[in-house]
Amino acid sequence: MSMENRIRQTGSSNSGNPVYWPSLFPRQPARVLIVEASPPWWSKTRTVLCDALDNFLSLACSLDGPCRVPLLSLYAISRQQECLLPFVQVRGNLARLRSCVEELRSIPEEGCIRGAAKGVELLRQSVLDSLQQFKQYFRHTSNSTQASNNTFLEVTVVTSQPGQSIVRHLEKGLKDADLVSLKRLLVVQIASTADWGQENSSPAAKDSEAEDHLMLGAEVDLQQVENSVLALETVLKAWFQEQGGDTEHLHLLLPSPLDNPLPVCIKCDMQERLISPALIPFNPNLGVKTGNIRDLGHITKGTANQSQAPQRLKAIKTLRADGVCESMLYGLPLVICPTTCWQLDWDEMETNHNLFHALCHTLQSRDLFLLLQVEPTQKSPAGGPGVYSHYILQPSPSLSLLLKPVVSRELLLPCSLPVQTQEPTPDALDVLQGCLSQLDEEFIFNPLSLSSNLYQHLKGRGLLSQPRYPYSRRISVANREQTAGSGPPWLLSPLPPPTRPLPPLVLLLQRHLVPL
């Protein structure tokens, strides 16, 4: 049974009306990663980039639940443009993808330093080649569900050259190209400490860049990161987040003001803060699992590829923050932000943003939480009202809110925890204080300082669960041009046929033959 069918079955149970992802990741774009592996920068970035990519792919290939990274292709720019990996499905393909990472790692660190103009031209050619390859892939898989959902492409260029210069040259070089399927072009500059923030464009240059963006018809972004595994992992993990954007995720309904009969509706988007441990296979010991696949989506049969209506969360009470017990909250939290849906006009988006900002400020300044209720979308089998679910909305210093499910009376278990009124004995107090003084104290908890060894666990278990990819390959531009009329590279390079066992007579002769 496929994972999608299992999600449909679990989502059909009438266990409340949880907040769900409206689209359940149906429109995640295909990904292209273009790595500039040219001297003299490659010697400083090779190990860091390959380690980050290796860690990311070990997680991306192993995740259960909705497919977050459906397709991936990898290009390397060294002495020439090379396609190390044509478009392949990411899930369950760890051996092949890790083989590609090792091939990227094997590119020499030293060599002739070519001119900047030649490097930019190779980057431009890689972008165009990836678009052409994507069109061919889509044409040959046009009847599949995956192809109908993933019709857009996002290209990420990783370079150590000045980022704004790369962006300007790519915009000029791609103006006349067919970029209908290109949703976004991201240039990631691995910057040293000396280079950080040095490029500051003038207002005139920024206006010119904005015009180039409009003429290009695709979103073009520049992101500077430091040369570390953690920073590059963060760039890649952004691919895990939902990339729909066709509609807002939820409507937050507040009581109508005294001078207006209509309720106030704030349109919001949801964002995951973490990957649920329930999506990690092989049952690693990551602690108590408070969520499962159903936390990521509540869909019914036949709606997997349809756009869901935004959730409607109605505010029913304000709560004092110090009066909410954490033991009443459960499941995975969601970060709530003002929507960036492209279908809203600018005036509506600005008004919505201001209302969201005012709500965050009011809750934060008054130390309040908001109690929300989700009305059931389906009636019970007996014809009565369905099951309600409730949530707590917590403010934060940033322009965001934290949404957590809260337990209802039907699920609450009895618990008697008497308040301790007596002071502890001096001897026990001295012992415990001495123990705690041996531990390091941090004023702010940083989860980035914790490592569970999950990457190594997934790499080992993932490679054991599938056969080793039998060969590595590089597809040069010349080879692709020679075979352009025959079909895409992923069809021209099929897996080698399985070898048949030799007959017993041949084996007997081989044992007795003496090599000359």
Q: Is 488 helix (H, G, I), strand (E, B) or coil?
A: coil
Full-model pTM: 0.77
pLDDT value of residue 305 = 43
Q: What is the pLDDT of residues 200-255, one digit of tens each?
A: 544 444 445 544 444 455 678 999 999 999 999 999 999 998 876 677 889 999 99
Instruction: Residue 307: name the closest of 20, 30, 8, 18 by CA.
Output: 20
Report how far residue 283's alpha carbon sits from residue 266's, in angstroms, rounded to the nearest whole number. Answer: 39
Instruction: Residue 60: name the closest of 239, 249, 208 by CA.
Output: 239
Task: Kindly state the tokens that stand for 443.
Answer: 């004023």
End-to-end CA distance of the chain: 55
Report how far residue 53's alpha carbon sits from residue 56's, in angstroms, rounded to the nearest whole number. Answer: 5
User: Do 93 and 448 touch, CB atoms closer than 8 A?
Assistant: no
Q: What is the pLDDT of residues 52-91, one digit of tens each?
A: 999 999 999 998 888 899 999 999 998 888 999 999 999 9
Q: Residue length, the chain?
A: 516
Q: What is the pLDDT of residues 5-54, one digit of tens each?
A: 443 343 333 345 565 544 456 578 999 999 999 888 899 999 999 999 99
8-state DSSP, 329: B
Task: Kindly state the tokens that stand for 434.
Answer: 């001495």
Q: What is the pLDDT of residues 144-196, one digit of tens each?
A: 555 555 678 999 999 998 889 999 999 988 888 888 889 899 999 998 766 65
